[in-house]
Amino acid sequence: GMTGMAMEERFHQPCWQNGPLGQPVLNGALYVVREV
């Protein structure tokens, strides 16, 4: 898992993308928070 990684290192993994506001979005997530 990612429990041994620093927070910044976790969000640099290829499974994350940047959302429209620069927020981290996990590919394949069941729910994604978006601004309307």
Q: Could you tell me the mean pLDDT of each successive run of 10 residues in the chain, 36 residues long?
A: 85 88 85 72
Q: Residue type at 2?
A: M
Tokens representing 25 are 């979005």
Phi, psi of 32 (to 5 degrees): -130, 130
User: Residue 36: its pLDDT value, please?
Assistant: 65
